[in-house]
A and B are shown apart, each in its own frame.
Chain A
Amino acid sequence: GQSLEQPSEVTAVEGAIVQINCTYQTSGFYGLSWYQQHDGGAPTFLSYNALDGLEETGRFSSFLSRSDSYGYLLLQELQMKDSASYFCAVSAASGGSYIPTFGRGTSLIVHP
C-alpha cells in the first residue's frame, strides 16, 4: 500500500514564505501532486511532479526527489486567501491501473 506523511498544521504571516513537506512510501510510483482545499470547498489541483526538481507556477512551487521519496510545496508572498488545507497525493500503478492516495492534509493558517 501507500502512505504519506505531512505536517498537520503550519502557521505563517502575510508576505512570508512557507514550505510544506511530504514524504511517501509507495510502490509503482508515478508522481506527486498537490491540492488546495478551502473550508467548505472541494480540493483543487495545484501542481504535479513526475521528475526530480522544481516546478514553478506563479507564487507556488513544488519539488520532488524520487530517490528520497520526498517532496514539498513552497508558497511565496503569502496572502490571507492562502489559508486552506494542502494535500499531497501520490499516483501509483497497481494491477494496470492508477491508484491515487492522499495525505492527511496540512492546515495552513496565514496571520496578518
Chain B
Amino acid sequence: DTAVSQTPKYLVTQMGNDKSIKCEQNLGHDTMYWYKQDSKKFLKIMFSYNNKELIINETVPNRFSPKSPDKAHLNLHINSLELGDSAVYFCASSQIVLGGDTQYFGPGTRLTVL
C-alpha cells in the first residue's frame, strides 16, 4: 500500500488556467504538508495542516489555496497559473513524536505551465 499518494503525477497546462493536485496518506498521521521543489532542487515548505487546521502558511501567493477535507487528505488548488509555478510539488505527512517529525513524501507532481 502506498503511504502517501498524489495525483496527478504530471500536469501540463496553459498560463491562466486553474488546476488542483490531490494528496492522500494512509499512515494515520496528524500533520500534512505541501512543498515546492524548483529546478535547482530547493525544497521549500508552502503549507502545513494539523488535524485539518492550517498551522503553517509560508509566503505563498494567494493563488495557492490548500484544502483539507479530513486529516488524511490535503489538496492544493492553484488559480491563474503562471510560468513561475512550474516545479515539482510534493505532499508529505508526519507524526510529531518527541520533538521530531519524520516526513513521508508522496511521489511528487511535476507541474509544467506553458
Contacts and interface: CB of A to CB of B under 8 A. Distances in A.
A68 to B, nearest CB: 19
Interface in B21-68: 31, 33, 40-45, 48, 50, 55-56
Given A104-B42, A105-B43, A42 B101 contact: no
A98 B104 contact: no
B83 interface: no
What secondary structure prevails in chain A residues at the interface with B?
A: strand
A100 B101 contact: yes
Contact of B100 (A35, A48, A96, A101): A48
B41 A98 contact: no
A44 interface: yes
Interface in B84-108: 90, 94, 96, 98-108
Contacts of B41: 37, 85, 104-105
Contacts of B33: 100
Given A99-B45, A99-B56, A43 B103 contact: yes
A97 interface: yes
B106 A30 contact: no
A91 interface: yes
B36 to A, nearest CB: 11
A42 B48 CA distance: 18
A100 B50 CA distance: 14
Interface of A: 30-31, 33, 35, 37, 41-45, 48, 50, 85, 87, 89, 91, 96-102, 104-105
